Structure 1
């Protein structure tokens, strides 16, 4: 076994972190940086709240706030080496935070006062209320500053293509078989709509994520805090972050389970399933270029093969498919972990944090890449789309109101077996005149409902 991360030359942590380094040499995963930064914001606001309440001396409170600012600005990221696989409450990582802050605050006071990791940095707090609070801060930050804006940009790109290609007709497909026509723009409008619905679902998660457990301490009773601590803390955090956090309605529930995170993960899982379908559609439509569907051309960002010259693969789509698979797996882990709470505390918090943060970060990065290097450069192969649509026997659906289902089925079967065009089959079977066929089979009029007559 070895340490999870290399030990920096200057270490600011203390004995509890050293003990955890010895006892939890498991894997390479550490607490995500965004959680560390969220803990910095939390500790800054907690110290400020205790200063306002007269529970911390001003010199100590200001020293802790100064150290906490270094924490949430990312200056201390190398001071958090612990394996994520630790106590299910996240106590070891929380004490790592407290020890680093205490060391820096003591240094800032030049030895005039000793700042204690528990008595000062953790005053009126516990891991049980601070860890889920930091997790919610991290999730809101990643949602509002990362995933939602990135998703909105991708939606706009699909909407742009939907409008641009509204006039291009193509063969529809159901069960991977030919179906009635639609426009390429209509097909892409479905992608925009799917993603817009996911955006709405994600946004609907925010009220619960903005509800914080801070002030519940060990089991939800608020022991060792004052009655106004939670509200004052949230007000300070809102000033610091620009968000609208509030104390949760029931601390007991919020510490015993993480249903808000499961719900968020469920929304991410839904988004992943939509994205997987969209990326798979694009791969199929771009298959070829000569022996596949060949309806779309995707950007050629890099050589696709180490052995076949000139080959271009749908690499961005495949990347997104893999990310979606990971998100779906993460959701299963989060669901199982949330079900493991006993009595007043869920004790699978670190693995929940790892997976939900990975899902948020992966989707943000993947959507940005997919938009920039794939969707924004897609080209429609109009000639191929027109050719395949004109050969489709499913255009016969427009004849059903005039000839009946059974007769049209006979025509389609005849055309298929004789390898004839639909038009020629209609003429051969004397189902109607060529003039009537040409009047009725107008694909551009088959992509919307008939006007009322």
Structure 2
């Protein structure tokens, strides 16, 4: 009885939580006004103040998964708007009524602005059909009804602008959605990730210059090694990020290839000759990016290799950033009982129980981002490997993960640069102390007394708690020779 009562209580709590988690703006069916729209399956009630129609409403009801946080990403919807605008303008050349073309183009501008997305006209989640058909129809319906409104017609009438016959003219979800995937990813890589990586790279380059003359002990296997400058250490970080930007630019040509024009299975059925090339050219104009028609529509519909390639680069970038952030937080460990070679900015209190404690929070944030991106790569890889015959039906989960990784990396790089990297200082006293105590300076004796004798000197110094100099002199090296040979400034490069 006790267990049953607890179970009932838990059920009530769950119901309460579900109720509280719903959008406050949502009204009951009795309070909300509807209009009736139709599709090939019959009539559907649609909120009177929304531009979407029957197919969107069906998807909304059939896939109530995850809530607003799982909506189709905004960049995809904006990309669909760009695509529909370009298609309408090109279709005008192939006989689409000029007034309808203009109305579609203007309605698409409202989609491109992001305003309609923000106002809830694109409610669908990524957990829908794997082809993205419902998001394509969401866009078709919104543009159709908005265009009808602009032309003075009645929303939901499909007159004078039909969502399929006019907005989707010469298209299929199977070519529009993958095209939108490429457009959105291409735009986000160019407008967000590459600039943020460039900013972080410049920040590291500035530190590389600032730390150019600070000699410190190197570490391999987490153990003491031979010296290098702090600037040289940071130059490695800079090169990692330069390589990341090179990799991104190297994969962009495949991102710029658009499936638009392949229609249902890649044959181009129901599209006009020249439509694909003209539409791609117009998309390139609208985005200021070199989008073009894919060389093979069958690959462009059935495979998502370009997105897997892109996320492979994002994954590699995350690996690089993880290394950089971990190095910086370890070098900044302390302040008294750690390595303490770097002094990191103190941004906020670090503990609710230990007064005065400050933590490397920017490093922690960036490494968590990197972990998430690495996890996203698994989802993208699985999705990309599941193209069957003429179509891949994992596109929404692929693009959502790619875009999320781009956003996280972009924001993470900017935040890390602004709130951590720029404020880093070198703890010169600590760096000098650690370097002087290192036994690995003995490496400089190798060319003069041989590896075995140098190793014996280092081991003896470690065992006896003495200095290298003391043990070297005992082994027959003169004080003058030791001073001349064991000079960290002469150990920073080849002779």
User: Could you say which TM-score interval applies, normalised by the shorter chain?
Assistant: over 0.9
Partner of 1:335: 381
SS in 2 for 1:293: coil
Partner of 2:114: 74
| Preserved contact between residue 84 and residue 167 of structure 2 (Cα < 8 Å) | yes
Residue among 72, 91, 101 paired with 1:61: 101
Per-residue Cα deviation, 1:119-166 (whole angstroms, up to 9, x for no partner): 111111111100111111111111111110110111111111111211
Partner of 1:21: 60
Residue among 214, 218, 221 paired with 1:172: 218
- Say how many residue pairs are matched: 448
SS in 2 for 1:171: strand
| Preserved contact between residue 171 and residue 392 of structure 1 (Cα < 8 Å) | yes
- Partner Cα separation in structure 1 for residue 353 and residue 330 of structure 2: 22
| Preserved contact between residue 231 and residue 247 of structure 1 (Cα < 8 Å) | yes
Partner of 2:6: none
Question: What are structure 1's unaligned runs of at least 5 residues?
Answer: none
- Partner Cα separation in structure 1 for residue 173 and residue 48 of structure 2: 28
**Match runs of 1:116-155 below 5 Å:** 116-155=162-201
SS in 2 for 1:435: helix
- Partner Cα separation in structure 2 for residue 255 and residue 4 of structure 1: 37
- Partner Cα separation in structure 2 for residue 320 and residue 174 of structure 1: 23
Q: Does 1:262 align with 2:303?
A: no
| Preserved contact between residue 194 and residue 274 of structure 1 (Cα < 8 Å) | yes
Q: Does 1:34 align with 2:75?
A: yes
Residue among 270, 273, 276 paired with 1:227: 273
Deviation at 1:227, TM superposition (A): 1.2
| Preserved contact between residue 304 and residue 387 of structure 2 (Cα < 8 Å) | no
Residue among 420, 427, 439 paired with 1:374: 420
Deviation at 1:318, TM superposition (A): 0.5
SS in 2 for 1:118: helix
Deviation at 1:420, TM superposition (A): 0.8
Q: Does 1:411 align with 2:453?
A: no
Per-residue Cα deviation, 1:162-192 (whole angstroms, up to 9, x for no partner): 1121110001000000000000000000000
- Partner Cα separation in structure 1 for residue 272 and residue 179 of structure 2: 18
| Preserved contact between residue 181 and residue 389 of structure 1 (Cα < 8 Å) | yes
Deviates more, 1:349-358 or 1:21-30: 21-30
SS in 2 for 1:352: helix
| Preserved contact between residue 47 and residue 64 of structure 1 (Cα < 8 Å) | yes
Deviation at 1:10, TM superposition (A): 2.1
Partner of 2:149: 107
TM-score after normalising by structure 1: 0.97
| Preserved contact between residue 31 and residue 83 of structure 1 (Cα < 8 Å) | yes
| Preserved contact between residue 88 and residue 350 of structure 1 (Cα < 8 Å) | yes
- Partner Cα separation in structure 1 for residue 22 and residue 101 of structure 2: 32
Per-residue Cα deviation, 1:261-284 (whole angstroms, up to 9, x for no partner): 111100111110010001000010
| Preserved contact between residue 287 and residue 293 of structure 1 (Cα < 8 Å) | yes
- Partner Cα separation in structure 2 for residue 99 and residue 309 of structure 1: 58
Deviation at 1:111, TM superposition (A): 1.6
Partner of 2:7: none
Deviation at 1:114, TM superposition (A): 2.5
Residue among 357, 363, 370 paired with 2:409: 363
Partner of 1:446: 491
| Preserved contact between residue 4 and residue 30 of structure 1 (Cα < 8 Å) | no
| Preserved contact between residue 4 and residue 26 of structure 1 (Cα < 8 Å) | no
- Partner Cα separation in structure 1 for residue 340 and residue 254 of structure 2: 45
| Preserved contact between residue 125 and residue 217 of structure 1 (Cα < 8 Å) | yes
SS in 1 for 2:391: coil
SS in 2 for 1:166: coil
Deviation at 1:9, TM superposition (A): 7.8
Q: Does 1:313 align with 2:352?
A: no
- Partner Cα separation in structure 1 for residue 380 and residue 353 of structure 2: 41
- Partner Cα separation in structure 2 for residue 260 and residue 235 of structure 1: 20
